[in-house]
Amino acid sequence: MSDKQVKVSFLPGGEQVYVLEGTTVFESAGRAGIMIETPCGGAGTCGRCRVQFTSGKDQPSQNDLDVFSPDEIASGWRLACQTTVNDDAVITIPPGSVLGQEHKIVASPANEETDDDVSPAVRKVHVELAEPTLADDAADLMRLERKIGPFKANLEMLRTGPQILRENNFNVTAVLAENHLIAMEAGDTTGLCMGLAVDLGTTTLAASLMDLSTGRELGIESTMNPQVRFGDDVISRILYADDHPEGKQQLSYAVIEVINELIAKLCDKFGVAAENIYEISVSGNTTMEHLLCGLAVKQLGQLPFVPACARGLVLKAGELGIKIHPAGSAYIFPVIGGFVGGDTVACLLASSSLITGPATLLVDVGTNGEIVLCHDGKMMAASTAAGPAFEGARISCGMRASCGAIEKVVFNNDVRLGIIGGCEAAGLCGSGLIDLVAEMLRAGIVSETGGILTGSDLPADLPEKLAERVKLDSDSKPCFVLKEATDSCAEITLTQRDIRELQLGTGAIRAGISILLRQAGLDATDLSKVIMAGGFGNFIRRSNAQRIGLLPGNISHQKIQYVGNASLQGARLALLSTTLRKNAENLARQASHVELSQDMNFQMEFAEAMIFPDS
Ligand code: FES
């Protein structure tokens, strides 16, 4: 097999992705951010992962022939889990094949009565009011209420409303947040009603611009969290905030500034004015959310790690310094505890339809790894310091999952690389790192303790090309050369230290999983489902996650489901539905917080989990 990259385009959304030839449709869609339903775990037996090739189809598999009629086969229908793409292809994914489609919200048109289940907090109503006369001298806002129902108006609206109405011949659009009139705009602006969902991660931020009138996403931007210059993890940032007189403000300004940059970028890209963004929904861990709001974080670093507040907050975006509509608001997710924050609640919200069966484990892999065990009607939630390796940070050639990131590594007689955007490789993102170390373990290049083997310690049957990639770096330490330097790109290598960083991350998460299972009296084999979330790449291969020990090896593949950046998806849902926002509040209050560091077995579990499992 070659390193040939093929372009796959998905309909109806138009997403495009470059993947290695021979990648399954299921994985290709995952890389494009589309999660396909796989109730049978990709065994090819349930027939639920149906897709239709418009072009680029290959021969059907036996499973395809078992599921589809000859006419359907001829029309390009295939099973996403069984079919590979070997050439450029255009593939339609029907709504029924998309994971969590029941949570895909399309808001009701603003001028119709809205259904609470699918209505955002912010809506617009266009009205053409009859001008006052002697016979009809009702007050201006009462005149408006007659058309759109009762609302509350603040002093600003009382002051400016009469003038806006008259300047526009009583032809205006009312902007309502819940039942508060927050603005009146000239003419009909109902088509310009945007919101922003933000996943505020310790290492990376992702922002999604949403059209609140249709529920559709316009686009996503992501960037590194600039707070990393004050410390890689939440503890070092809490210490920085405490140790420096202006520390908390510096951390707060840094993240607000970068959110404003993301807003400006998205607005520029999609021709939207920032004033037409009326609400922002933010999910982050407790420290990130506190710092965003300028709240004290010192107590989060001291036993018993108590947050200032746990309920979701609705704040004025302008007071936080976020540049959207002057009357716009910011919804900050509720948190479960000091170290289990709004990002976990957002993940739970986004994955709620998948939490079925007697015992479901949710693992959100990030700098802070969050783990929730849903069992026996209860939810136990814990957080563990996994470090930023999964997001490409603290890795010598690491980068976040953006254009040029190696997101897939496969060994045959040499290495094959899947690169985001189909461009030249620039570094290694989290999913590529997991793949690479898993493949090195399988090939016998890395030992169970994580050492890179060299010379005669390498397996005798190791393909020559792979053996040639094991070299010594400038410190005479062994490393693995993934890609030679080119005129435009430096050499991409994996060092011994990189593997240690990965071991710290996998060890922390695995130890957390073991402790939650033990406290619930369960074994990994008792789990009916494992939901993996994370923004470290668009896709993670289950076998590789298990090979490096991130997940217990005795869970069958079929039970493991990867759902992508569920924190961002949860933030989107809270933006689009006030009902789901209430669900988020309930989820946060139902979950109980388990403090892993207080478990006497944590250190032992952690040390054990640092060792890579047997194959
Ligand atoms: S047939 Fe079940 S997931 Fe593809």
259-264: Cβ within 8 A, 24+ apart: 259/198, 259/200, 259/205, 259/207, 259/322, 260/321, 260/322, 260/323, 261/223, 262/198, 262/205, 262/207, 262/221, 262/222, 262/223, 263/196, 263/207, 263/322, 263/323, 263/324, 264/323
Residues 518 and 466 in one domain: no
Any idea what the CATH number is for the domain that residue 170 is in? 3.10.20.880
Residue 36 CA: nearest ligand 1 atom is: 3
Give residue 195's pLDDT: 97
Residue 79 CA: nearest ligand 1 atom is: 4
Q: How far apart (Å, rounded) are the C-alpha atoms in residues 458 and 452?
A: 9
To test the ligand 1 pocket, which listed residue (27, 35, 48) has its Cβ within 8 A of the most ligand atoms?
A: 48
Give residue 538's pLDDT: 57
Q: How do beta strands 359-365 and 313-316 pair? A: unpaired
Give residue 100's pLDDT: 57
Give residue 106's pLDDT: 34
Residue 41 CA: nearest ligand 1 atom is: 3
Residue 46 CA: nearest ligand 1 atom is: 2
Residue 47 CA: nearest ligand 1 atom is: 1
Token duo for residue 594: 């388990």
Residues 324 and 375 in one domain: no
Residues 289 and 437 in one domain: no
Q: What is the DSSP string of 373-399?
A: EEETTEEEEEEEE--GGGGTTTSTTB-
The residue among 501, 520, 535 that closes a domain is 501
DSSP state of 488: S
535: confidence class by pLDDT, cuts 50, 70, 90:
low
pLDDT tens readout for residues 461-495 = 999 999 999 999 888 999 999 999 888 788 999 99
Q: What is the mean pLDDT of residues 242-265?
A: 95
39: confidence class by pLDDT, cuts 50, 70, 90:
confident
In a domain, 347, yes or no: no
Residue 114 predicted with pLDDT over 50: no
Residue 49 CA: nearest ligand 1 atom is: 4
CA 64 to centroid of ligand 1, rounded, Å: 10
Residue 207 predicted with pLDDT over 90: yes
Q: What is the mean pLDDT of residues 1-17?
A: 83
Q: How far is CA 455 from the centre of its chain?
A: 41
Q: What is the mean pLDDT of residues 157-166?
A: 96
Residues 327 and 216 in one domain: yes
Let me know if 180 is exposed, middle or buried by CB neighbors in 10 A (0-12, 13-18, 19+).
middle
Residues 245 and 361 in one domain: no
In a domain, 34, yes or no: yes
DSSP state of 446: B
pLDDT tens readout for residues 548-598 = 999 999 998 888 888 888 999 999 999 999 999 999 999 999 999 999 988
Any idea what the CATH number is for the domain that residue 279 is in? 3.30.420.480
Q: Which residues pair with 383 in a beta bridge?
A: 370
Q: What is the mean pLDDT of the chain?
A: 90
In a domain, 105, yes or no: no
Q: What is the mean pLDDT of residues 167-175?
A: 97
CA 26 to centroid of ligand 1, rounded, Å: 9
CA 356 to centroid of ligand 1, rounded, Å: 18
Residues 67 and 120 in one domain: no
Question: CA torsion 370→374→379→385, rounded to 10°?
Answer: -10
Q: How do beta strands 359-365 and 529-534 pair? A: parallel
Q: How far apart (Å, rounded) are the C-alpha atoms in residues 408 and 588?
A: 35
Residues 204 and 304 in one domain: yes
Q: What is the mean pLDDT of residues 192-210?
A: 94
Domain that holds residue 397: 391-501
Residues 201 and 322 in one domain: yes
Token duo for residue 449: 């303790």
14: confidence class by pLDDT, cuts 50, 70, 90:
confident
Residues 372 and 516 in one domain: yes
CA 82 to centroid of ligand 1, rounded, Å: 8
CA 44 to centroid of ligand 1, rounded, Å: 4
Indicate the number of domains in the chain.
5
Question: CA torsion 21→26→27→29, rounded to 10°?
Answer: 90
Give residue 19's pLDDT: 87
CA 544 to centroid of ligand 1, rounded, Å: 20
Token duo for residue 28: 């290709």
pLDDT tens readout for residues 262-298 = 999 999 999 999 999 999 999 999 999 999 999 999 9
| CA-closest residue to ligand 1 atom 1 | 44
Sign (positive/negative) of CA torsion 266, 272, 275, 277?
Answer: negative
Proportion of the chain in helix, strand, coil states, percent, rounded to 5: 35, 25, 40
The two counts, helices (H) then strands (E), for the chain are 17, 29
Please count the CA atoms within 13 angstroms of the CA of 373 that sit on its side-chain side: 24
pLDDT tens readout for residues 398-451 = 988 888 889 899 998 999 998 887 778 889 999 999 999 999 999 999 999 999
In a domain, 104, yes or no: no
In a domain, 106, yes or no: no
In a domain, 198, yes or no: yes
CA 199 to centroid of ligand 1, rounded, Å: 30
Give residue 446's pLDDT: 97
pLDDT tens readout for residues 348-399 = 999 998 888 899 999 998 888 899 999 999 999 999 988 888 888 889 999 8
The residue among 69, 99, 129 that closes a domain is 99
CA 93 to centroid of ligand 1, rounded, Å: 14
Residues 59 and 95 in one domain: yes
Owner of token pair 């479960």: 336
Residue 37 CA: nearest ligand 1 atom is: 3
Residues 462 and 550 in one domain: no
Give residue 536's pLDDT: 64
CA 558 to centroid of ligand 1, rounded, Å: 10
pLDDT tens readout for residues 81-100 = 899 999 999 999 988 788 75
Any idea what the CATH number is for the domain that residue 10 is in? 3.10.20.30
Residues enclosing ligand 1, CB less than 6 A? 38-40, 42-49, 79, 81
User: Do residues 531 and 551 lie in contact, with contact meaning Cβ atoms separated by under 8 Å?
Assistant: no
Residue 111 predicted with pLDDT over 50: no
The residue among 151, 170, 186 that closes a domain is 186
To test the ligand 1 pocket, which listed residue (27, 35, 40) has its Cβ within 8 A of the most ligand atoms?
A: 40
Residue 5 predicted with pLDDT over 70: yes
Residue 40 CA: nearest ligand 1 atom is: 2
Residues 226 and 245 in one domain: yes
In a domain, 95, yes or no: yes
CA 11 to centroid of ligand 1, rounded, Å: 19
537: confidence class by pLDDT, cuts 50, 70, 90:
low
Query: E-strand spans in 376-495?
Result: 378-385, 405-411, 415-419, 427-428, 470-472, 478-483, 492-495
In a domain, 107, yes or no: no
